[in-house]
Amino acid sequence: MKGEYFLSKRNLNLCEKILPYLEVTANELKKII
């Protein structure tokens, strides 16, 4: 259980780091379209 919790928490941190980049790329794509 502890290992699974750690992994999910780590994945959440990764998502938080990646999300801003995804939003930026989405905005860039909207500008192009």
Q: How does pLDDT run across 1-18, given as a tens digit for each residue? A: 577 777 788 888 887 899
Distance CA 10, CA 6 (A): 6
To the nearest 5 percent, what fractions of the chain are helix, strand and coil?
A: 95, 0, 5
The DSSP code for 33 is -
The structure's pTM equals 0.48
Q: Is the pLDDT of residue 29 over 80?
A: yes
Distance CA 26, CA 1 (A): 36
12-21's contacts with Cβ under 8 Å and 24+ in sequence apart are: none
8 phi and psi angles, rounded to 5 deg:
-65, -40
